[in-house]
Structure 1
C-alpha cells in the first residue's frame, strides 16, 4: 500500500492547428440586431477600409467560420497555422457575407467585391467588432469570469447555483455545457470564439438572463475570445502545469491568465493559497485562502464517510456550509465562489443554499449502483489535479484506491510522466489506459505515463498495470474492487466521446463505470 500521498507583450499567436480543426456547432444568434455600417466598424477599431464607395454597407452579424455565415455577416478571415481565413472568403460571400475583416496578407487574397477592413491584428479587435454589431451585450448582463488551471468548472457551477438560489435568471458558459435560462447547449470550447460569445450574450439578454457565469481559459485570453467583454467580477482559482504545448513556459501561462485581472473586471477575487495567486493581489483585491490569512477563510472542516463536507466560512459575514463535493480543493472553490458572490451583493443564505445544492458533472462524480465500494469519475487531467483528487478520496477510504488514468494526445507531453508518477504514489492499483489519443500512437502516450509511474520507488508505489482499451481497463478495475475500496476513473470526466485517429467514438466514463458495476453485481 502506498503512502497517502502582467499582460503579455507582442502580437497574438496564430491559432494552433488542433484548435483550428475543432468542429463547432453554429452558435445561437439574437433575433433582433440593429445593423451597423461597415465604416462605423472600421472606425471602432481603427481599421483601413477598402471600397469606400460601400462604406454604408450594413453588417448584422459576425463569424470567423465560413460555414456559419449568414446573410449580412462580417466574415473574419484570420491567419492560422495551416491556412489563412482569406482562402475561404469566396465561400463566405456566396453564403451572404457582406464584408471581410483580415490582415494585409489576407486582404491581398480577397477577390470578392466586398468592403474589406484591414487591421494588423484582426483577431485582437474581433471581440470589439462583435460587441458593436450585437449591441454591446456584456453591458446588459452581469458577466462573472472564473480562470485558473483547476476548479474553473466547479467554481462556475457553485456561483451559478447560488445566483439561481438568489432568484436571478442565469446563463452558464464552460467546458461541460452552455445553459441559457435553464436550456442546455453542448460546449465545443471552454470559452467560445469572440463573435460566438457576443452573439450568445445577446441571446441571453434577449431571454431575460441577468447574470452569466463563464469559464475563461488561457487560450481565450491569449486569442482574444473575451475581447470586448467587461466583467462584473473575475475569480482566480490556482495555477499548475498544463497547456505547455500552447504556452512556452509557466511564466507565460501565468501572464496570460493575469490578463483577466488587467482592469477589465470591476472586482477581482483571488485564491492566495499559491504563489501565483499572491502575485495577482492588488490593494483592492478580495482574497480567499484555506491555509493562511485572507479576507475569506474556512474552519471546522469535517468530512463524512461518503465525502460530504461541512465547514464554517469566515469573512465580512460568517456562516455554515454543507457541500456534497469532497476534497480540500473544493473548500477553496467554495470560498472563491462565496467571495465573488458576496462582492456582488448576494446574501449569505442564497450562497449557503446554492453551495448545498450544487452538482458538477464529471467532477468527483459518484457512481452508485448499490455496490459495496465507492466509484468516482473525475475530470482530473493535470498532475496536480490527479494528486488532489486521489488525496481527497484517500482521506475517507477504508480500503484500497484503484485508479484508471490516461493522458490525451496532441497535448502537453511533459505532464504525462508526472501524471503517472502522482497516480502511482497515491494508488494501491494504477491502471494506465488510453484517454483521447487523437492523432498520436496510444502506446507511446501510455509508455510516457508508465515511465513516470515506474520511477516511483517500490515502497512508495502501488501495483501498476497497463490496459490500453479504456472500457476493458474500467471493467478490470471494477472486477478488482472489494468492500471499502475506491475506484477512481480519471481524466475524461463529463466527456461523452473518445477521439482516436480523428474519429470521435461515443464513450462515457460514468456510463461505462455504471455498466461494469451492474455486470459485476449480476
Structure 2
C-alpha cells in the first residue's frame, strides 16, 4: 500500500522524518555537535525540529546544513532555506563568506559539515535512543534481493518490519519511493525515527559504497551486516578495486556493526572475513571453502529455483528453498537466513518460518522477474559483467533452446567494463542484442559500439556461431529478441530491472523492460505471466 504520491521532493521529505519531534534547543545541539555559535544572533535559541542538507526541501523548524558541494556552496542558498522554514544554520568557515549581515536565523560553524551531519540528525531525531534493529547488506550484486528476503523472513517471524533500498522504502507495508539506494544521513535518521514511532522492530537496508563514501550511514550501528560479493563496478567513483573493497570494509568495524555474515566465495570476501573487526560467520556455496562456518549442501532444482540445506560445521542444519532462478539467488537466500540467525533468532524458530512462509521466494521487482515461461522471458537488473554472466547462466532454455540477451551499458560511468560486458554476453548467450541503457549525456551510438566490439571479438576468436546485433531504441531491441525466439528458448532483458524511464540527454523517456517484454511476447503469440 502506497501512503501517498508526493508531487515534489519537499513533499516527499515529510515521509522521511518522524511525524512529530520533541525538539532540541539550538545551543544544546551545537554543544553535542561541537559547533561554535557566530554572528549577530548569538542569543537566539530556537527549538530544532528537523535537519536538512537541501534548502529546497527544508521543513518548518529545521536546522539547515550549509555544505560545500562540487560546484556551489549550500550556504549560498540560505535565503531559500529560511523561506521554507529554517530556524537555524550550521555551516563551515567557507560558508560564512556567503552570509549577509541581515540574516534572520542564528548560525554555528563546524569544521566539516558532511562529517557532522549524521550526528546532528541523530541528536535531533533521537535515533541514538530509539531505533529499529538494523540489518545491513553490502556488496556489488544481490543487495536488493537479500534485503527483500531478510524482510520476508522477519515478516514470517511475526515482526513489524521496514525496508530501505533501491526500489522502495517501507514501514509496516507503507511504501514511499526511494530517492537513493541509501538516503542522505539526515533523511536516513529521520526515516528510522519515523519507523520507530510506528513500532517497526527491524529494518533491512542496502548499504552501498556511495553511502559509505559520503557518510550517509554514519552514526548508525547495524545488528548484523552482510557481504554478498565484489565485482567491477563504480570505478568511476573508487578508481580501483582495492579502493572499492576498502570502502566496503568500513562497514565491518565495531563502530558500525555488532556482528557480520560474509560470503567467502570470492577473494574479497575471504579478505574481508580475515580482517573483519566484529564477530563474523562465513558462508559458502563452494566446496573449495570447507572451513566456512556455513555451507550450502544438498542442492536440487525446485521449480525455476532450488531447494538446499544450510549446514554449520558444528552439525546444525537449516532446510530452505527459493523459487527465484539462479545460483546467486541461492546465495542471497542463504545469506539472508544466516543473517537473521546471527541476530539471535533460534534455529528451530527460523526453520518454522522458512517452512511456513516460503520467504526466500519473495518476488523482487525487476530482479530475475519472470514475464513468460514459454519461451522463458526474464527481466533482471544485471548491469555489470559478473551479474550478467550469472543471470544468463541461471535462465534455462528447453532442449536445443537458445539463450537470447538484450542489454546495454550506462553512459557517463565506468567505460572499461563496456567491451567486457559484450564479451561476457557472447560467451554465455547464443544471440546477443546490444542496445541502449541510460545514455545520460553521452551519445548512445558509441556506447553500443564499444559493447558490441567485445562481443564481436568473442565471435571472431571463440564462438563463431554467436549472433551479434546492434539495435536501438531499446523497445525495438526487445521486440526483435522476441521475434527471433522459439518456445524452447530463454530471453534475458538485462540492466534496468525495475526502472521505468531512461535518462537520454537529461530527459526521462518512459520505458519499462517488463512492459515492453510482455507487449512483445503478446505480439508474437506467446503467453505472459499475469
- 1:33 corresponds to which residue? 21
- 2:153 corresponds to which residue? 162
SS in 2 for 1:367: strand
- 1:520 corresponds to which residue? 524
- 1:261 corresponds to which residue? 252
Residues 62-118 of structure 1 show CA distances to partners (whole Å, capped at 9, x for unaligned) of 011111111110111211112111111111011111112222111221222322232
What TM-score does the superposition give when structure 1 sets the normalisation length? 0.92
SS in 2 for 1:402: strand
Cα 1:397–1:298 change in 2 (3 A) is farther
Cα 1:157–1:223 change in 2 (3 A) is same
- 1:86 corresponds to which residue? 75
- 2:121 corresponds to which residue? 130
CA distance in 2, matches of 1:502, 1:452: 27
**Offset of 1:320 from its aligned partner?**
2.0
SS in 2 for 1:455: helix
| Residue 307 (str. 1) matches residue 304 (str. 2) | yes
Cα 1:350–1:444 change in 2 (3 A) is same
Higher RCO (Cα < 8 Å, 6 or more apart):
1
Q: 2:353 aligns with which of 330, 350, 355?
A: 350
CA distance in 1, matches of 2:499, 2:19: 31
Cα 1:296–1:452 change in 2 (3 A) is same
| Residue 237 (str. 1) matches residue 240 (str. 2) | no
Contact 1:303 1:326 in 2 (8 A): no
| Residue 453 (str. 1) matches residue 437 (str. 2) | no
- 1:420 corresponds to which residue? 422
Q: CA RMSD in A?
A: 1.9
CA distance in 1, matches of 2:480, 2:69: 43
Residues 252-277 of structure 1 show CA distances to partners (whole Å, capped at 9, x for unaligned) of 11111111112111111111111111
Cα 1:354–1:232 change in 2 (3 A) is farther
Residues 193-251 of structure 1 show CA distances to partners (whole Å, capped at 9, x for unaligned) of 01111111111111121111110110001101111111111111110100011112111
Residues 368-395 of structure 1 show CA distances to partners (whole Å, capped at 9, x for unaligned) of 2xx6310000000011101111111258
CA distance in 2, matches of 1:484, 1:197: 46
**Offset of 1:415 from its aligned partner?**
1.4
| Residue 364 (str. 1) matches residue 368 (str. 2) | yes
**Offset of 1:147 from its aligned partner?**
0.5
Give unmatched runs, 5+ long, in structure 2. Answer: 1-8
Contact 1:27 1:200 in 2 (8 A): no
What TM-score does the superposition give when structure 2 sets the normalisation length? 0.90
Give unmatched runs, 5+ long, in structure 1. Answer: 1-21
- 1:218 corresponds to which residue? 209
Aligned pair count reads 498
Q: 1:477 aligns with which of 470, 475, 481?
A: 481
Cα 1:163–1:239 change in 2 (3 A) is same
**Higher mean Cα deviation, 469-478 or 447-456?**
447-456
**Offset of 1:24 from its aligned partner?**
9.8
- 1:436 corresponds to which residue? 438
Contact 1:397 1:486 in 2 (8 A): no
- 2:3 corresponds to which residue? none
CA distance in 2, matches of 1:386, 1:24: 37
**Offset of 1:54 from its aligned partner?**
3.3
**Offset of 1:53 from its aligned partner?**
2.4
**Higher mean Cα deviation, 386-395 or 185-194?**
386-395
| Residue 287 (str. 1) matches residue 282 (str. 2) | yes
- 1:322 corresponds to which residue? 321
Residues 372-426 of structure 1 show CA distances to partners (whole Å, capped at 9, x for unaligned) of 3100000000111011111112587751001000111122211111111111111
CA distance in 2, matches of 1:296, 1:138: 34
Q: 2:88 aligns with which of 84, 94, 99?
A: 99
